[in-house]
Structure 1
Amino acid sequence: MTISPGARPVPYTGSEKESLHTSLDRHRDAVLWKLGGLDDEQVRRVMTPSGTTLLGLVKHLASVEYGWFCSTFGREVEPLWFDPYTEDMAAGPDETTARIVEFYGRARAAADRTISELSLDDLGTSWNGNTVSLRWVLIHMLEDTVRHAGHMDIVRELIDGGTGDHRPS
Protein backbone atom coordinates (compact mmCIF):
# COMPACT_ATOMS: atom_id res chain seq x y z
CA MET A 1 0.00 0.00 0.00
CA THR A 2 1.43 3.36 -1.03
CA ILE A 3 1.03 6.32 1.28
CA SER A 4 1.31 9.79 -0.14
CA PRO A 5 3.39 12.38 1.70
CA GLY A 6 1.54 14.50 4.21
CA ALA A 7 -1.97 13.90 5.39
CA ARG A 8 -5.18 14.61 3.51
CA PRO A 9 -7.07 17.18 5.56
CA VAL A 10 -10.52 16.52 6.95
CA PRO A 11 -12.85 18.75 4.90
CA TYR A 12 -13.95 21.84 6.79
CA THR A 13 -17.45 21.68 5.32
CA GLY A 14 -17.75 18.02 4.36
CA SER A 15 -20.62 15.72 5.14
CA GLU A 16 -20.59 13.75 8.36
CA LYS A 17 -19.73 10.53 6.54
CA GLU A 18 -16.98 12.14 4.45
CA SER A 19 -15.46 13.79 7.52
CA LEU A 20 -15.48 10.58 9.60
CA HIS A 21 -14.07 8.50 6.74
CA THR A 22 -11.34 11.03 5.91
CA SER A 23 -10.34 11.26 9.56
CA LEU A 24 -10.14 7.46 9.79
CA ASP A 25 -8.01 7.36 6.63
CA ARG A 26 -5.61 9.98 8.01
CA HIS A 27 -4.93 7.81 11.05
CA ARG A 28 -4.79 4.59 9.02
CA ASP A 29 -2.07 6.22 6.94
CA ALA A 30 -0.23 7.32 10.10
CA VAL A 31 -0.30 3.71 11.34
CA LEU A 32 1.45 2.55 8.18
CA TRP A 33 3.84 5.49 8.20
CA LYS A 34 5.08 4.36 11.61
CA LEU A 35 6.51 1.23 9.94
CA GLY A 36 8.38 3.19 7.28
CA GLY A 37 12.13 2.85 7.18
CA LEU A 38 12.28 0.17 9.85
CA ASP A 39 13.64 -3.32 9.37
CA ASP A 40 11.91 -6.57 10.31
CA GLU A 41 13.55 -6.74 13.72
CA GLN A 42 12.50 -3.19 14.59
CA VAL A 43 8.81 -3.61 13.64
CA ARG A 44 8.72 -6.74 15.83
CA ARG A 45 10.69 -5.29 18.73
CA VAL A 46 8.80 -5.52 22.02
CA MET A 47 9.01 -2.14 23.73
CA THR A 48 6.46 -2.45 26.54
CA PRO A 49 5.76 -4.93 29.34
CA SER A 50 2.52 -5.90 27.55
CA GLY A 51 4.45 -7.10 24.51
CA THR A 52 3.29 -4.35 22.14
CA THR A 53 4.98 -4.26 18.74
CA LEU A 54 4.38 -2.03 15.74
CA LEU A 55 3.61 -4.99 13.49
CA GLY A 56 1.29 -6.57 16.05
CA LEU A 57 -0.75 -3.36 16.22
CA VAL A 58 -1.16 -3.29 12.43
CA LYS A 59 -2.31 -6.92 12.45
CA HIS A 60 -4.83 -6.11 15.20
CA LEU A 61 -6.19 -3.09 13.34
CA ALA A 62 -6.62 -5.16 10.18
CA SER A 63 -8.59 -7.85 11.98
CA VAL A 64 -10.88 -5.36 13.71
CA GLU A 65 -11.52 -3.45 10.47
CA TYR A 66 -12.75 -6.72 8.95
CA GLY A 67 -14.75 -7.52 12.07
CA TRP A 68 -16.48 -4.19 12.58
CA PHE A 69 -17.02 -3.10 8.98
CA CYS A 70 -17.55 -6.45 7.29
CA SER A 71 -18.74 -9.10 9.72
CA THR A 72 -21.06 -6.67 11.48
CA PHE A 73 -22.83 -5.85 8.21
CA GLY A 74 -22.89 -9.40 6.80
CA ARG A 75 -20.11 -8.82 4.30
CA GLU A 76 -17.35 -11.17 3.25
CA VAL A 77 -14.25 -11.46 5.42
CA GLU A 78 -11.16 -13.22 4.16
CA PRO A 79 -10.29 -16.36 6.12
CA LEU A 80 -7.97 -15.46 8.98
CA TRP A 81 -4.89 -17.60 9.58
CA PHE A 82 -4.91 -16.71 13.28
CA ASP A 83 -7.36 -16.52 16.18
CA PRO A 84 -8.51 -12.88 16.25
CA TYR A 85 -9.34 -13.09 19.94
CA THR A 86 -5.97 -14.35 21.15
CA GLU A 87 -3.38 -13.90 18.37
CA ASP A 88 -4.14 -10.59 16.68
CA MET A 89 -1.76 -8.39 18.70
CA ALA A 90 1.38 -10.36 17.92
CA ALA A 91 3.16 -11.23 14.70
CA GLY A 92 4.50 -14.76 14.51
CA PRO A 93 7.88 -15.60 12.96
CA ASP A 94 6.15 -16.85 9.79
CA GLU A 95 4.16 -13.61 9.37
CA THR A 96 6.17 -11.21 7.27
CA THR A 97 5.83 -7.46 7.44
CA ALA A 98 4.64 -7.47 3.83
CA ARG A 99 1.97 -10.08 4.60
CA ILE A 100 0.55 -8.07 7.48
CA VAL A 101 0.71 -4.73 5.64
CA GLU A 102 -1.06 -6.31 2.65
CA PHE A 103 -3.64 -7.81 5.02
CA TYR A 104 -4.26 -4.34 6.45
CA GLY A 105 -4.61 -2.97 2.92
CA ARG A 106 -7.23 -5.59 2.03
CA ALA A 107 -9.10 -4.98 5.29
CA ARG A 108 -9.12 -1.23 4.62
CA ALA A 109 -10.39 -1.77 1.07
CA ALA A 110 -13.17 -4.08 2.28
CA ALA A 111 -14.11 -1.60 5.02
CA ASP A 112 -14.09 1.25 2.50
CA ARG A 113 -16.54 -0.65 0.28
CA THR A 114 -18.89 -1.01 3.26
CA ILE A 115 -18.56 2.67 4.12
CA SER A 116 -19.21 3.67 0.50
CA GLU A 117 -22.20 1.38 -0.01
CA LEU A 118 -24.07 1.93 3.27
CA SER A 119 -25.61 4.97 4.90
CA LEU A 120 -24.58 6.09 8.36
CA ASP A 121 -27.94 4.92 9.71
CA ASP A 122 -27.71 1.38 8.28
CA LEU A 123 -27.65 -1.24 11.03
CA GLY A 124 -25.66 -4.39 11.63
CA THR A 125 -25.08 -6.87 14.43
CA SER A 126 -21.74 -6.79 16.22
CA TRP A 127 -19.76 -9.79 17.42
CA ASN A 128 -21.37 -9.44 20.87
CA GLY A 129 -24.95 -9.25 19.56
CA ASN A 130 -25.44 -5.50 19.79
CA THR A 131 -27.28 -3.68 17.01
CA VAL A 132 -25.00 -0.88 15.80
CA SER A 133 -25.16 1.73 13.06
CA LEU A 134 -22.44 2.38 10.50
CA ARG A 135 -22.05 5.78 12.20
CA TRP A 136 -21.27 4.06 15.52
CA VAL A 137 -18.80 1.69 13.82
CA LEU A 138 -17.00 4.57 12.10
CA ILE A 139 -16.68 6.42 15.40
CA HIS A 140 -15.56 3.27 17.22
CA MET A 141 -12.93 2.42 14.60
CA LEU A 142 -11.71 6.00 14.53
CA GLU A 143 -11.27 5.83 18.32
CA ASP A 144 -9.51 2.45 18.15
CA THR A 145 -7.22 3.48 15.29
CA VAL A 146 -6.28 6.78 16.95
CA ARG A 147 -5.60 5.00 20.24
CA HIS A 148 -3.30 2.46 18.61
CA ALA A 149 -1.65 5.09 16.41
CA GLY A 150 -0.74 6.82 19.68
CA HIS A 151 0.75 3.59 20.98
CA MET A 152 2.71 3.35 17.74
CA ASP A 153 3.98 6.93 18.17
CA ILE A 154 5.52 5.97 21.50
CA VAL A 155 6.92 2.62 20.34
CA ARG A 156 8.45 4.22 17.23
CA GLU A 157 10.06 6.97 19.30
CA LEU A 158 11.54 4.35 21.63
CA ILE A 159 12.93 2.39 18.67
CA ASP A 160 14.64 5.16 16.70
CA GLY A 161 13.53 8.54 18.01
CA GLY A 162 11.06 9.04 15.13
CA THR A 163 8.14 11.29 16.06
CA GLY A 164 5.19 12.95 14.37
CA ASP A 165 1.71 11.92 13.41
CA HIS A 166 2.15 12.12 9.62
CA ARG A 167 4.97 12.10 7.13
CA PRO A 168 6.09 15.67 6.44
CA SER A 169 4.93 17.06 3.08
Structure 2
Amino acid sequence: MGDDAVSDASAGLPYAGGEKEILRASLDRLRDAVLWKLEGLDEERLRRPMTPSGTNLLGLVKHLASVEYGWFVETFGREPEPLWFDPYSAEDMYASDDETAEQIIAFYGRARTAADRTLAELPLEAVGRPAWHEGREVSLRWVLVHMIEETARHAGHMDIARELIDGATGDWPAG
Protein backbone atom coordinates (compact mmCIF):
# COMPACT_ATOMS: atom_id res chain seq x y z
CA MET A 1 0.00 0.00 0.00
CA GLY A 2 1.47 3.37 -0.97
CA ASP A 3 1.76 6.40 1.27
CA ASP A 4 -1.32 7.97 -0.28
CA ALA A 5 -3.52 4.92 0.24
CA VAL A 6 -5.39 4.52 3.50
CA SER A 7 -7.01 1.23 4.50
CA ASP A 8 -10.56 1.21 5.85
CA ALA A 9 -9.20 0.20 9.24
CA SER A 10 -6.87 3.17 9.53
CA ALA A 11 -9.26 5.77 8.12
CA GLY A 12 -10.46 6.76 11.58
CA LEU A 13 -7.04 6.85 13.25
CA PRO A 14 -5.72 10.23 14.29
CA TYR A 15 -2.32 10.85 12.67
CA ALA A 16 -1.72 13.79 14.98
CA GLY A 17 -3.09 14.62 18.38
CA GLY A 18 -2.54 13.84 22.00
CA GLU A 19 -0.81 10.74 23.23
CA LYS A 20 -3.90 9.34 24.93
CA GLU A 21 -6.07 9.92 21.85
CA ILE A 22 -3.61 8.14 19.56
CA LEU A 23 -3.07 5.20 21.92
CA ARG A 24 -6.83 4.79 22.49
CA ALA A 25 -7.51 4.86 18.76
CA SER A 26 -4.82 2.21 18.20
CA LEU A 27 -6.34 -0.04 20.85
CA ASP A 28 -9.84 0.46 19.43
CA ARG A 29 -8.65 -0.41 15.92
CA LEU A 30 -7.21 -3.69 17.23
CA ARG A 31 -10.33 -4.43 19.28
CA ASP A 32 -12.45 -3.95 16.16
CA ALA A 33 -10.16 -6.28 14.20
CA VAL A 34 -10.67 -8.93 16.90
CA LEU A 35 -14.44 -8.69 16.47
CA TRP A 36 -14.17 -8.76 12.69
CA LYS A 37 -12.35 -12.09 12.93
CA LEU A 38 -15.58 -13.57 14.32
CA GLU A 39 -17.98 -12.20 11.70
CA GLY A 40 -19.88 -14.71 9.61
CA LEU A 41 -18.72 -17.78 11.52
CA ASP A 42 -21.02 -20.25 13.23
CA GLU A 43 -20.50 -21.62 16.76
CA GLU A 44 -18.64 -24.69 15.52
CA ARG A 45 -16.05 -22.68 13.60
CA LEU A 46 -15.66 -20.12 16.42
CA ARG A 47 -14.87 -22.98 18.85
CA ARG A 48 -12.80 -25.10 16.50
CA PRO A 49 -9.34 -25.76 17.98
CA MET A 50 -6.83 -24.46 15.45
CA THR A 51 -3.58 -25.38 17.21
CA PRO A 52 -2.37 -28.43 19.15
CA SER A 53 -2.91 -26.47 22.39
CA GLY A 54 -6.57 -25.90 21.50
CA THR A 55 -6.47 -22.20 20.63
CA ASN A 56 -9.73 -21.06 19.09
CA LEU A 57 -11.27 -17.73 18.15
CA LEU A 58 -13.87 -17.62 20.91
CA GLY A 59 -11.36 -18.49 23.61
CA LEU A 60 -9.09 -15.66 22.51
CA VAL A 61 -11.95 -13.17 22.79
CA LYS A 62 -12.83 -14.47 26.26
CA HIS A 63 -9.17 -14.06 27.27
CA LEU A 64 -8.98 -10.51 25.91
CA ALA A 65 -12.12 -9.57 27.85
CA SER A 66 -10.65 -11.06 31.00
CA VAL A 67 -7.37 -9.17 30.69
CA GLU A 68 -9.11 -5.87 29.87
CA TYR A 69 -10.99 -6.22 33.17
CA GLY A 70 -7.84 -7.19 35.02
CA TRP A 71 -5.51 -4.50 33.72
CA PHE A 72 -7.82 -1.53 33.24
CA VAL A 73 -10.37 -2.14 35.98
CA GLU A 74 -8.93 -4.17 38.86
CA THR A 75 -5.49 -2.57 38.65
CA PHE A 76 -7.00 0.86 39.27
CA GLY A 77 -9.23 -0.23 42.15
CA ARG A 78 -12.45 -0.41 40.20
CA GLU A 79 -14.98 -3.19 40.49
CA PRO A 80 -15.09 -5.65 37.57
CA GLU A 81 -18.10 -7.80 36.91
CA PRO A 82 -17.96 -11.12 38.73
CA LEU A 83 -16.25 -13.75 36.60
CA TRP A 84 -17.73 -17.22 36.26
CA PHE A 85 -14.33 -18.76 35.49
CA ASP A 86 -10.82 -18.65 36.94
CA PRO A 87 -8.59 -16.52 34.70
CA TYR A 88 -5.49 -17.56 36.67
CA SER A 89 -5.87 -21.21 35.65
CA ALA A 90 -6.25 -20.48 31.91
CA GLU A 91 -10.03 -20.97 32.00
CA ASP A 92 -10.25 -17.67 30.15
CA MET A 93 -8.56 -19.19 27.10
CA TYR A 94 -11.39 -21.56 26.24
CA ALA A 95 -15.14 -21.35 25.81
CA SER A 96 -16.93 -23.96 27.85
CA ASP A 97 -19.83 -25.93 26.38
CA ASP A 98 -22.37 -23.83 28.30
CA GLU A 99 -20.99 -20.48 27.03
CA THR A 100 -22.35 -19.17 23.75
CA ALA A 101 -20.56 -16.96 21.27
CA GLU A 102 -23.15 -14.28 21.97
CA GLN A 103 -22.36 -14.37 25.71
CA ILE A 104 -18.60 -14.15 25.19
CA ILE A 105 -18.85 -11.36 22.63
CA ALA A 106 -21.14 -9.44 25.01
CA PHE A 107 -18.62 -10.05 27.82
CA TYR A 108 -15.91 -8.52 25.61
CA GLY A 109 -18.16 -5.53 24.95
CA ARG A 110 -18.73 -4.99 28.69
CA ALA A 111 -15.00 -5.32 29.39
CA ARG A 112 -14.22 -2.74 26.70
CA THR A 113 -16.81 -0.37 28.14
CA ALA A 114 -15.40 -0.74 31.67
CA ALA A 115 -11.84 -0.25 30.39
CA ASP A 116 -12.90 2.79 28.38
CA ARG A 117 -14.45 4.31 31.51
CA THR A 118 -11.10 4.01 33.29
CA LEU A 119 -9.32 5.53 30.30
CA ALA A 120 -11.77 8.43 30.16
CA GLU A 121 -11.64 9.17 33.89
CA LEU A 122 -7.93 8.80 34.69
CA PRO A 123 -4.83 10.54 33.34
CA LEU A 124 -2.09 8.46 31.73
CA GLU A 125 0.07 9.15 34.80
CA ALA A 126 -2.43 7.48 37.18
CA VAL A 127 -0.85 4.59 39.05
CA GLY A 128 -2.47 1.30 39.98
CA ARG A 129 -1.45 -2.02 41.48
CA PRO A 130 -2.21 -5.25 39.66
CA ALA A 131 -3.22 -7.87 42.24
CA TRP A 132 -1.11 -10.53 40.55
CA HIS A 133 2.17 -8.50 40.61
CA GLU A 134 2.85 -8.41 44.37
CA GLY A 135 2.78 -4.68 44.96
CA ARG A 136 4.33 -3.49 41.70
CA GLU A 137 2.88 -0.18 40.56
CA VAL A 138 2.07 0.51 36.92
CA SER A 139 0.88 3.65 35.19
CA LEU A 140 -2.23 3.80 33.05
CA ARG A 141 0.11 4.68 30.17
CA TRP A 142 2.01 1.40 30.71
CA VAL A 143 -1.24 -0.57 30.90
CA LEU A 144 -2.56 1.02 27.71
CA VAL A 145 0.64 0.19 25.81
CA HIS A 146 0.64 -3.32 27.28
CA MET A 147 -2.97 -3.89 26.18
CA ILE A 148 -2.16 -2.67 22.67
CA GLU A 149 0.61 -5.29 22.60
CA GLU A 150 -1.63 -8.00 24.09
CA THR A 151 -4.51 -7.28 21.73
CA ALA A 152 -2.21 -7.11 18.69
CA ARG A 153 -0.61 -10.42 19.63
CA HIS A 154 -3.93 -12.19 19.92
CA ALA A 155 -5.41 -10.46 16.87
CA GLY A 156 -2.47 -11.99 14.98
CA HIS A 157 -3.30 -15.41 16.38
CA MET A 158 -6.90 -14.84 15.32
CA ASP A 159 -5.81 -13.81 11.83
CA ILE A 160 -3.99 -17.12 11.39
CA ALA A 161 -6.86 -19.15 12.87
CA ARG A 162 -9.40 -17.38 10.63
CA GLU A 163 -7.26 -17.97 7.55
CA LEU A 164 -7.11 -21.67 8.40
CA ILE A 165 -10.90 -21.76 8.83
CA ASP A 166 -12.03 -20.01 5.66
CA GLY A 167 -9.13 -18.15 4.04
CA ALA A 168 -10.10 -14.68 5.34
CA THR A 169 -7.02 -12.60 6.21
CA GLY A 170 -6.13 -9.06 7.19
CA ASP A 171 -7.19 -6.69 9.90
CA TRP A 172 -10.30 -5.46 8.15
CA PRO A 173 -12.71 -6.88 5.56
CA ALA A 174 -11.45 -6.53 1.99
CA GLY A 175 -13.01 -3.71 -0.01
Fold shared, TM-score > 0.5 on shorter chain: yes
Q: Give the paired residue count.
A: 164
Alpha-carbon shift at residue 166 of structure 1 (Å): 1.2
Structure 2 residue 143 is matched with structure 1 residue 137: yes
Structure 2 residue 167 is matched with structure 1 residue 155: no
Aligned Cα root-mean-square deviation (Å): 1.0
Structure 1 SS opposite 2:92 = coil
Select 1:124's aligned residue among 125, 128, 151. 128
Alpha-carbon shift at residue 37 of structure 1 (Å): 0.2
Which residue of the partner structure matches residue 59 of structure 1? Answer: 62
| Percent identity between the two aligned chains | 69
CA distance in 1, matches of 2:52, 2:17: 41
The aligned runs of 1:14-163 (5 Å cut-off) are: 14-86=17-89, 87-127=91-131, 128=133, 129-163=135-169
CA distance in 1, matches of 2:71, 2:98: 26
Q: Which amino acid aligns with 2:43?
A: D
* Higher RCO (CA-CA < 8 Å; seq separation 6+): 1
TM-score norm. by structure 2 comes to 0.91
Structure 2 SS opposite 1:29 = helix
Alpha-carbon shift at residue 119 of structure 1 (Å): 0.3
Structure 1 SS opposite 2:151 = helix
Greater share of helix: 2
- Structure showing greater Rg: 2
